[in-house]
Amino acid sequence: MSSNSALERTISKVLSQKEAELVSKIDSAYQESLNNLEASRGKLEAERTRIIGSAKKQAENLKRQIIGSARLAARNQELVTIENAVNNAFEEARKKLAASGGKDSYRALMSNIIEESVSSVGSGGVVIECNKNDAELVRKIVADLQQKNSKVQARVSEQHIDVLGGIRVKSADGTMTFDNTLDSRIERLKPLIRKNIAQMLRGGEEA
């Protein structure tokens, strides 16, 4: 065997060993990369699930906020509509009452109001206040009332009040007052009218 052949075999053997070592290292690195990738995949999947869950939660919260805001806006608009309807209805009522001063129905209404008010105060003597336009009518009704019942002690004040109609009665000593003006009667009716209008707008649903 020549020296060159021995050298070639030695070189070949060394190269084979190095090649095997390199392949082994590459396989090891490849396997390690696969393991790392598999581990990362789990983390990425968990992170993806977390992000999607968070996004869904935020979307649900946003949806509730939008629905809540829409409901609140609708509720506010409904209240505005109801209040406008109530005000329009009462404004129409005021106009009709203002135009009914000389009618028999108004005289009958004032007569009932005066009898009711005097009886409610129930004092030995009362002072009746009314607006300027109703003064003569009120004096006549009071005079008729006193003719029918001599126990009624009432006088009509010379001081007029700025009201649509009706009267305000005070006991002689000023300790009791009964506001039975048309203005106050209308105001007392407002909650009931408001409730009825709300029921109409909601198709009969309770306000």
Q: Identify the band that residue 1 occupies on the pLDDT scale cut at 50, 70 and 90.
A: low
Q: Identify the band that residue 207 occupies on the pLDDT scale cut at 50, 70 and 90.
A: very low
3-state SS of 10-34 is HHHHHHHHHHHHHHHHHHHHHHHHH
Q: Domain 101-201 adopts which CATH fold?
A: hypothetical protein PF0899 fold (3.30.2320)
Q: Where are the domains of the chain?
A: 1-100, 101-201
pLDDT in tens, 85-101: 888 887 887 788 777 76
| Position 62 pLDDT exceeds 80 | yes
CA-to-CA distance for 110 and 185, rounded, in angstroms? 13
Burial 66-101 (b: 16+ CB within 10 A, else e): eeeeeeeeeeeeeeeebeebbeebbeeeeeebeeee
> Which of 187, 184, 190 lies closest to 162, judged by CA?
184
Do 133 and 99 form a contact (C-beta atoms < 8 A)? no
pLDDT in tens, 64-91: 999 999 999 998 998 898 888 888 887 8
Q: How many CA atoms lie within 13 A of 107 on its CB side?
A: 10
Q: Indicate the pairing of strand 154-156 with strand 166-171.
A: unpaired
pLDDT confidence of residue 110? 93
Largest CA distance in the chain: 162
Q: Identify the band that residue 20 occupies on the pLDDT scale cut at 50, 70 and 90.
A: very high
Do 123 and 172 form a contact (C-beta atoms < 8 A)? yes
Structure pTM?
Answer: 0.57
pLDDT in tens, 123-162: 678 999 999 999 999 999 999 988 988 888 889 999 999 9
| Position 63 pLDDT exceeds 60 | yes
